[in-house]
Structure 1
């Protein structure tokens, strides 16, 4: 029996010491700075060396020895910065929350598609930038142009209001191609297309290419491309539904919308509705008359996507009402506005990835019946001038892409863009009676047909060569005041770009290209009122042709991105706007315009939770014959910003300084220098609830945003708040 007792005690002691020491169970969640759960993050415990992975909800659980009072956790992910967290057991919360900073916040990691190729921005031989969905949402942008206003090299022209037109490197007025999912956005307005009808809330990202793109797109891309990538079910928010609400104080704007999305295996459906309504805004304590607007937009997208092929059918209906065109005179008795503006954009796209080995075929088609009316009212004389415009825009495009080997690939494409049934009608009413009318453009038609080829070769050590060529044929015709007028021509375009990668941190590039632009139907044939005053068309306008030279460098390290770019554009037969008198303008070709410029941009993370960023540019544009300044060249600008993350909270400060315009173009006026400060903040309460705050023009500066002689003061101090909720 004594031996049995001794054996029992021995078994008990062995069992006791073989049990683990008492420990503490730690629960935690790992998310990114936008409060989205991160799966597959390696969580490593320094004391034991053990590691585990976060699950699909970003959650992790582990046990530590209770005797360890302090230990360190390491959170590792190839897409995020390494996070080190020192944990004190006595102070630890029941649910540990860790937030990781994505590496892809650096601009070099963003993928661009506007030039028909998905590439990282560090690798492309031109200057570009991308505004993400998160950037659009956090900025509380009221329009596409406003979402781009702090982008490198981007400015705007026009006399204000919501319908201003973007410019790139001092080029605007149909020299910048606006695309929405590959469909051209066109307008007969004298300033060109503005895309103000497309709600920023329905946008996944906006890509800006600051280089000639006529090789791929033909006319209207002398200065670059702005590509709107829409949201769909493939890029939807978490959940099956989303709600957004926002409001602005300066113009009493109320904005709201909802979206529904659902995926059924390879099939997906996305639908959305957005409503925006704004009154007259205030500037320097005064009301700017006739600056309000209303927009109602619906969007429906059906898609199918597998590894072999994809198909998308989308329809966007936008109805704008009472869209104001404010003026510097700010006379309430004189007003210009668009009582109606309608767009009906149908877009069909198909991609086949199994056509043959290492090749794909893309096909797209779009239709956009659109119309708008412009009214100019003079209450003193009881006179109303009306301009009615309608057109059918359409296009089709087919592209074959093939990789011959790991170093050589090519594209070949054929495209057609047309405008049909273009009618522009003028009416004058006095004392509620019809006074006179004209039909400056009836049954107008534009045809652009082109084919192109593009070659990409990377077989040389550290070099990447991109070359392309296009041949385009185009025509335009219309019945103008009873006379049939027609013009036709053709033009080639070429592009050669070279990228030199030096190790992994430095990329040099240069490119040379030619581009062309066909005068629009309104520039050639329309005579009548505009949102500004009146215009006289010129049917003898010649197409513009340009030689574009670009060079730059991009530096990328772990926590810094730096870009520096120099360019020169020489535009032969450049179409400029000239005043005929105080209230009327016309168009004419000048011998040659030349624009030169320097751009800088940077992004720096001195700390993982602190981002400092900015950009600057200086441009000069003159006629090479007369040496007189060109229109639309913005003054030198400097933009600086800083953003700080604190868990799910973030805050940001932006500062923009613009030099004075002392030598305006022939249709412009001088303006003084100005600076503007904006403050933004927000909280990602969860991956389904976001709140944003913004104070624009913090110090209520009074300034003119461009050199347009009719532009009113820019919007003054503006408080805005926005909420996004996903169900």
Structure 2
């Protein structure tokens, strides 16, 4: 009846030449135009879809008040009211950025199959390139500093290599994947996360907590899966180049082309250069490692019958990095005249995924990488070679309420170096290690809102023998915006002494291993709650909270305290626990203001002979934030990002060491302005480390005995009775600096 009345009024008004108006506008999300958005005048028969530029227009509208609704696939509906008081042109734009239904994001990491995030029984955090562009960095390793509960940890004050901590657990407990393949070995976690062209990243998925039942060894603390773009969906050309006042230069280039009728090819190139030695703390050592890195990535996607999958990808990385005394050059490499730490890295990788030509969903995925490292730490050499081959066959099968996944995997690892870890230490190490395994997973739909997952994996390690890792998960979808998940399971990590701590290779400490090291085993439980609330006016509030607990047997510990000249590795005679609570809050307003705030409280400690000891270099509390504001009329956006860390225990040499035993609370904060007023072009710039914080603050020095790096004169001018040691590091040494960049994209 209401529609009929409106049509009658419409005809009458038109016939009598009543006042008429034009209503037009644009639909967009994230600064990009949205085509095919349905624009409807509610309570009327009028409606249309936006064009390729995201624009719509209604002509000859009678004056009056209208309720206009925008709706599109993947977004929630947005309704606005506008009053057309008189004849003329009126504008009503729709920004659907806050209404993107990220519960429908497709994730693969939690269950090894593509599912909507809402449907996954395993909580998976998803981060897109737009999130990392709020604080541009030259590597994914550094970009992760803005992810709650994830911290890039520098382990060497001079060469600036490090690892990724998830919920306080150190780098060897984190598995790094590229397109689901364990391509980044533990030897090269920091190198593997450097040189991946950011322009080729589709999204990064993070699972916190053990995932060994699906992924095997190393996935004890969690895993990070870097998913690259599908060649057919990538821009035709993209470039992102920025430089800093430190004279750093980073360039990301990407382009795609069609190879014949059946293949799309995506190519990416990353180049990073930093060649300006600085010594702001006046200890005659470089504050920041100098680097020259190039990485080339290419991915092929082939068209096959019935849309079956066939993809191939490869990457090559070369890096030359050094740090040391300011007067060092390559002629001093490996000598004992001028101290320097110089690392040459050559690495290549191959990954692929092939769907078998059968009716069932059967996939064969494979990867292979070779890593050669030639390093000098003063006059100590570290020459290492690693080769890893991996193959995995999976069968995805649904039977009634059971969503089954069967798999068989084989990993081959070759490793050799020139250190005592492989030549004389009392532990079982083989140059050739085989790790075959089988796994099964059953996701059962108990009811419309309840799912239960049971998984089991069996591996046979050629050094350590049989390894079993079961797990379970339960998901209760209270409604479409509220989800409760409970996960529990076990994990394992095989022994590999060279990955335990970079400090084993640097400075004056010697490595000692007590007894034969055993594989670590963990027991884990995680409770996760997700709630999202949408308002009809476009405002949004979301919160995700998790409580976690991990219990360790055979925890491998590096003892820095018993002897200041040694690092003593042994299995813990007791147990270790990592427990805590984490929460993320996402708050968006229709005026362009957005908050992403995260906080994690964690207690990571060892328990031996009745004594509790906090893990070194592990904070109790950490926080991250990203505050963004878009000024649409000016095509300008402002991003204020930062992190905050509570005190952590630091590696002192002795009781006489005058450096702080615990760090103070510290924070790195950044601000960025982005102008998107040009077609296909973005300009951005800002300031990093606004507070000008470095670890030097409050310390008499950072590097012990920087004036005597080869310990030739320990009896001279040594009031604290220390030896040379650069392992006292917990945060970046870069001061406040400006940056400016350009992004150019042809779609």
Q: TM-score range by the shorter chain?
A: 0.7 to 0.9
User: What is the deviation of 1:142?
Assistant: 2.1
Match of 2:416 in 1: 423
Alignment of 1:25-64 (within 5 A): 28-35=25-32, 37-45=33-41, 50-64=46-60
User: What is the deviation of 1:562?
Assistant: 1.0
Match of 2:234 in 1: 236
Counterpart selection for 1:585 from 562, 567, 574: 567
SS at structure 2 position matched to 1:139? coil
Match of 1:492 in 2: 468
Q: Deviations over 1:644-685 (max 9, x none)?
A: 223243212224222112587999942111133221231333
Decide which structure has greater strand share. Answer: 1
Match of 2:380 in 1: 385
Q: Report if the CA contact (8 A) 2:210-2:219 is conserved.
A: yes
Match of 2:585 in 1: 602
**Quick check: 543-552 or 502-511, which moved more?**
502-511
Match of 2:682 in 1: 690
Q: Report if the CA contact (8 A) 2:488-2:524 is conserved.
A: yes
Partner Cα separation in structure 1 for residue 188 and residue 30 of structure 2: 43
Q: Report if the CA contact (8 A) 1:289-1:326 is conserved.
A: no
Match of 1:434 in 2: none
Q: Report if the CA contact (8 A) 2:629-2:637 is conserved.
A: yes
Match of 1:7 in 2: none
**Quick check: 228-237 or 685-694, which moved more?**
685-694
Match of 2:644 in 1: 657
User: What is the deviation of 1:189?
Assistant: 4.8
Match of 1:184 in 2: 182
Partner Cα separation in structure 1 for residue 412 and residue 354 of structure 2: 20
Counterpart selection for 1:670 from 662, 676, 683: 662
Counterpart selection for 2:443 from 453, 456, 459: 456
Matched, 1:403 2:402: no
Counterpart selection for 2:358 from 355, 369, 373: 355
Match of 2:528 in 1: 552
Match of 1:260 in 2: 255
Q: Deviations over 1:233-284 (max 9, x none)?
A: 13312xx2222211122x3111113222134765311112211112357687
User: What is the deviation of 1:473?
Assistant: 0.6
Partner Cα separation in structure 2 for residue 534 and residue 336 of structure 1: 18
Q: Deviations over 1:402-460 (max 9, x none)?
A: 1113x32110101111112x331369xxxxxxxxxx96699812221110000101123
Distance 1:523 1:602, change over 3 A: closer
SS at structure 2 position matched to 1:627? strand
Match of 2:213 in 1: 215
Match of 2:332 in 1: none
Q: Report if the CA contact (8 A) 2:370-2:387 is conserved.
A: yes
**Quick check: 701-710 or 624-633, which moved more?**
701-710
Match of 1:465 in 2: 452
Distance 1:510 1:319, change over 3 A: same
Alignment of 1:690-709 (within 5 A): 690-703=682-695, 709=728
Partner Cα separation in structure 2 for residue 117 and residue 563 of structure 1: 23
Matched, 1:346 2:350: yes
Match of 2:631 in 1: 646
Distance 1:532 1:344, change over 3 A: farther
Q: Report if the CA contact (8 A) 2:21-2:89 is conserved.
A: no
Distance 1:665 1:538, change over 3 A: same
User: What is the deviation of 1:611?
Assistant: 1.6
Distance 1:87 1:271, change over 3 A: farther
User: What is the deviation of 1:162?
Assistant: 5.4
Partner Cα separation in structure 1 for residue 500 and residue 648 of structure 2: 30
User: What is the deviation of 1:388?
Assistant: 1.2
Match of 2:204 in 1: 206
Match of 2:673 in 1: 681
Q: Report if the CA contact (8 A) 1:178-1:193 is conserved.
A: no
Matched, 1:720 2:739: yes
Q: Report if the CA contact (8 A) 1:283-1:717 is conserved.
A: no
Q: Deviations over 1:450-509 (max 9, x none)?
A: 10000101123521101100111112xxxxxxxxxxx33211001011111222332222
Gaps of 5+ in 1: 1-16, 378-383, 428-437, 476-486
User: What is the deviation of 1:349?
Assistant: 1.1
Q: Deviations over 1:303-350 (max 9, x none)?
A: 1145530111111111111244899xxxx9864434410111111211
SS at structure 2 position matched to 1:276? strand
Counterpart selection for 1:159 from 146, 156, 160: 156
Alignment of 1:521-532 (within 5 A): 522=498, 529-530=505-506
User: What is the deviation of 1:390?
Assistant: 1.3
Distance 1:192 1:113, change over 3 A: same
Match of 1:627 in 2: 612
**Quick check: 554-563 or 658-667, which moved more?**
658-667
Q: Report if the CA contact (8 A) 2:20-2:87 is conserved.
A: no
Match of 2:105 in 1: 110
SS at structure 1 position matched to 2:131? helix
Match of 1:367 in 2: 368
Q: Report if the CA contact (8 A) 2:21-2:86 is conserved.
A: no
Match of 2:484 in 1: 508
SS at structure 1 position matched to 2:309? strand
Partner Cα separation in structure 2 for residue 644 and residue 53 of structure 1: 28
Partner Cα separation in structure 1 for residue 679 and residue 513 of structure 2: 53
Counterpart selection for 2:301 from 295, 300, 303: 303
User: What is the deviation of 1:552?
Assistant: 2.3
SS at structure 1 position matched to 2:145? coil
Match of 1:9 in 2: none
SS at structure 1 position matched to 2:133? helix
User: What is the deviation of 1:639?
Assistant: 2.3
User: What is the deviation of 1:106?
Assistant: 6.2
Q: Superposition RMSD on alpha carbons, in Å?
A: 3.7
Counterpart selection for 1:613 from 593, 596, 603: 596
Partner Cα separation in structure 2 for residue 704 and residue 169 of structure 1: 26
Alignment of 1:322-333 (within 5 A): 322-324=321-323
SS at structure 2 position matched to 1:628? strand
Aligned length: 670
TM-score using structure 2 length: 0.81
Q: Report if the CA contact (8 A) 1:642-1:653 is conserved.
A: yes
TM-score using structure 1 length: 0.83
**Quick check: 396-405 or 457-466, which moved more?**
457-466
